[in-house]
Structure 1
Amino acid sequence: MAVHKLILDDVFDESVFTLIAIHCSIEDYRLAYLLNKFLHINLCRKRFDLDFKNGKSAYSIFNWEDKKQLIDWNLVSNICKTNDYTQVNSGLLFETTQSITKTYHLLPELKTVNYLLKIDDELNLVKEKYIINTILSIPQIATAYTIDQNQLKSKDNLIFN
């Protein structure tokens, strides 16, 4: 009996998307509102956040499916801060609890990036430049730029479906 072996490595490497890093200090819902207003899109908060590391970190995500051009837009936060409580025994009669804030990143190699805008289509240079210039025209945003997806080590974290 012959053994058939299927190799699927090449199937997952062909994911085509444009990734834009956004640096700003505003809340996620405010950023989604401003992107909707300036880019004329309709990002809406998903019912459930992205959950990583078995509930240790959750990242807010906004999505819009452009049905005319068949393009998915995703705005996701790159930073998740959680409070962990630990028991501290200081040698006294009573134990105390101490709150420790831990910071997790969706893409650990981009620790300074606050938000990521993932567009599931390889945009031409003119459209990409238009989107970045429009994002940079928003006063609350410090900077925005395109990220080369081939240099990302943890690009598997960008699979949202």
Structure 2
Amino acid sequence: MEKNRKIRPERLDDFKNLYYDAFGYGEGNHERAAEFFGVPVSECQKWHDERPHPVAHRYLQVHCKGYLPYNTNWKDCYIRSDGMVITPFGNCMPSDMALLHRRKWSAEQTRQQLVKCRQQLQELRSGTKLKMLIHTADYLGRLVKELAVEE
């Protein structure tokens, strides 16, 4: 692993907007924040009015995004309160995500079956089995004509 790997600083949304989204406006919001962060109400008031603690800011950012990791891979995604995962490419339910591995497995099994079927078809088209079938069909056709003429 690289020891000198530089970590890009994350861009956090405005703390006050996150604070209002999570705890609301008006009375009781600092109490709800204090319960959420596990700190005294005075500490939450200080973070709100002055400057928030960086860890509290990151934690609130993650919370407001629906507990998705806060990095560039998930930057445009979030989880709604009803559990729906919102992405730039569409929305999905948690059940969709749970079935993702099953769907991938099923698609791979289908792909493998298709490859086998194509190989078998190629063998039938180019192999001796096809020649034998054509010869048998030709023989049966001639036999039917002979029987039809005799009657």
Give the TM-score category using the shorter length: under 0.3
Q: Please give the TM-score of this superposition, normalised by the length of structure 2.
A: 0.24
Q: Give the structure with the higher percent strand.
A: 1
Q: Give the structure with the higher percent helix.
A: 2
Q: Please give the TM-score of this superposition, normalised by the length of structure 1.
A: 0.23
Relative contact order (C-alpha < 8 Å, sep 6+): which is higher? 1
